[in-house]
Amino acid sequence: MSQTVKPWLRLRRGLEHDYRVIKVREDRWADPRTQHEHSRVLVDCTDWVNVIAVTPDDQLVLVRQFRCGTGTTTLEVPGGMVEPGEDPAVAAARELEEETGYVAGRVVPLGTVHPNPALQANQCFSYLALDCVKQHTGKQDEGEDIAVELHPRADVPRLILEGHITHSLVVVAFFLERLRADATGPR
């Protein structure tokens, strides 16, 4: 039997610090069980998209890039931020093309997750982009240094289990793709 958890009441919004891609603040909240006040740090981010891009010959279009948080180079799916007012499916197609130069024949939604609901309210939308064809070299944003790689789609489990793909939201995108495939059958 599940227990009811009451929402906490925000008592005060803290001073916001704007770091261009995120805003950080510390708010004060009241625990509904005890009425005690607690500080909680919140990170305000825009929504994100991840794109599992597949070519007509069943190759995955992956990107390799340096990530400052881990100080390492990571292997990921293309993705990025959803612009204000932009439909996430449009953002997925845009990010795929900007980062890789590939254009999708069609984009299929896989699902949405909250990256870290303890700190963030934003969502990450995952998409499957099918029949992706290379149209140009890409138009990376200032500060992006991305290498595009093709990998056989069948290699996904190995790439994850051997630690080549470690970004949690990328792993979630592949999990959502598997769940959709199991629920609907082959595409």
Helix and strand totals (H; E) in the chain = 3, 13
SS3 assignment, position 155 = helix
Instruction: Identify the H or E element spanning 178.
Output: helix 168-184
Catalytic residue among 16, 86, 142, 162: 142
Amino acid at site 70: T
Specify the DSSP class assigned to residue 173.
H
Does 149 qualify as catalytic in the annotation? no
Nearest to 65 by CA among 85, 79, 51: 79
Strand pairing category for 59-67 and 72-76 = antiparallel
Q: Which residues contact 186 (CB under 8 A, 6 or more apart)?
A: none
Which residues are known catalytic residues?
142
